[in-house]
Chains A and B, each alone.
Chain A
Amino acid sequence: MKKARKKTVAANGGSLWPLRFTLNGKKVSAKVQPTQTLLDFLRIEMGLTGTKGACLEGECGSCYVLVDGRPMNSCLMLAPQAQDRTVTTIEGFAHNKKLDVIQQKFVECGAVQCGYCTPGLIVAAKALLTENPHPTREEFLVGMEGNICRCTGYNKILRACELAADEMGLKKK
């Protein structure tokens, strides 16, 4: 085991945790309640309300964010666990007022009804397409299985994701 060690960072009872991490491409330093979930921290302290909370037990995927590029349920992470990590929320997807291709395809396909699940779905699709640029229908179903939509019946969502994969493939060529 390693001999050299960094000093344990500890927040005292009642006092705040000195959180430093990268949020949507920007370095962020903030004092956080160590028992606050990452979801609540993002929504309440950072004002980033694109990430939604619904079931708060990891069943619905509304709260998905990318942590170091991987999809994670922000309702199950405590804010200090994001220390030194790179977090991307739905607000970090558009660049220079141009939507991410997955967002664009959701718009074009009408893959949104009430919209509550949409940010989580787009985050899940981004993670999937980053790891596997040409998923089969079956691989899409597995990559999106952590997200529940109660309105659409999923067909338009899958169509949007497949079109996004096609377009991302074309851009690479």
Chain B
Amino acid sequence: MFYQPNVIEEALGLKAELKDGGTFIAGGTDVVVLMNHGKAAPENFIDLTHIPELRAIHRHDGALELAGNVTYAQAGKLPVRCLALASLSVGGPGIRELGTLAGNLASASPAGDGSTALLALDAEVELTSVRGARRLPLDKFFLAYRKTALAVDEMITKITVPTTYRSDWSKNGKRGAMNISIVAAAVAITPKKETRIALASVAATPIRCYKAEKFLTENGLNAGTIRQAAEIVRTEIRPITDHRASADYKVHLSGVMVRRLLENLVKA
């Protein structure tokens, strides 16, 4: 069965009622790929692309409230540097029109560009079901490889992002476009001068580098501390060797990328 609700409550009602929980579909950039390759055949789809309120962007004091189905194309125009750059680094124009930030979070790919930028920004997600809504800091959302805190009946309805952080983004891959990262990095500095560092493709989920962040928050940002923090980053990550690059190379790259990003952020 294929369902195409027009409002969120109706989608949540279906998600709770359907015996198999149904499959939410928005951009289809994960689930339809699996279907095309014969690796998935969901029986019940709940299409989220005809729910206008899931595409809304609201501005509050110092924060943006993004509805779950905000696309990479939309996010690429936001005044939040690392999120905009991360979104524009995803796929090509067609993928950016289809793919959504909530989809990126829910699929929990270790290489998720949107996920990694949002992690560095202390984003909060609103998870909603027929039972009600709850808010969760994003660093409590990713549990293990492709596993999240999302319950079977829940939808990511909102993503709240501060606009007060200074941030930057860098992605390294084998080509300049249509690229899945070897390593991607997002850094941010909060209004209280605390540092945030998030990395993609170096662990089972997108991760924060808490030790390096703490070191910088305690010791301040300068050329020397940044170099030391980059060394700490190298010890905090556990990349695997895969077809994209060796674990050693990813460790090296992570240190270099974080150092350069922070150096530029301090200069700016």
Contact = CB atoms under 8 A, between A and B. Distances in A.
Same complex: yes
Contacts of A13: 1, 43
A2 B50 contact: no
B93 A11 contact: no
Interface in B142-196: 176-178
Given A71-B97, A145-B177, A56 B50 contact: no
Contacts of A9: 3-4
B37 interface: yes
B93 A37 contact: no
B245 to A, nearest CB: 19
A147 to B, nearest CB: 7
Interface stretch (A74-82, A98-106, A155-163, A165-173): A74-82
A89 interface: no
**Interface residues of B: mostly helix, strand, loop or mixed?**
mixed
Interface string B9-35: 110001000000000010111001101
A83 B95 contact: no
Contacts of A84: 50
Sort chain B's interface into a size bin.
Answer: 35 or more
A10 B36 CA distance: 23
B217 interface: no
Contacts of A117: none
Nearest to A145: B177
Interface residues of A, number: 43
Interface in A119-146: 124, 127-128, 141-143, 145-146
A81 B94 contact: no
A76 B49 CA distance: 13
B98 A73 contact: yes
B190 to A, nearest CB: 31
A59 B73 CA distance: 17
Contacts of B37: 56-57
B7 interface: yes
A98 B93 CA distance: 27
Interface string B82-114: 000000100111110110000000000000000
A77 B14 CA distance: 21
A145 B10 contact: no
B2 A11 contact: yes
Identify the 6 closest CB pairs spanning chains A and B, nearest first.
Answer: A146-B92, A34-B2, A145-B177, A56-B36, A73-B94, A57-B33
Interface of B: 1-10, 14, 25, 27-29, 32-33, 35-37, 41, 43, 45, 47, 49-50, 53, 73, 88, 91-95, 97-98, 176-178
Interface of A: 1-2, 5-6, 8-13, 17, 34-35, 37, 56-59, 61, 64, 67, 70-73, 75-78, 80-81, 83-84, 124, 127-128, 141-143, 145-148
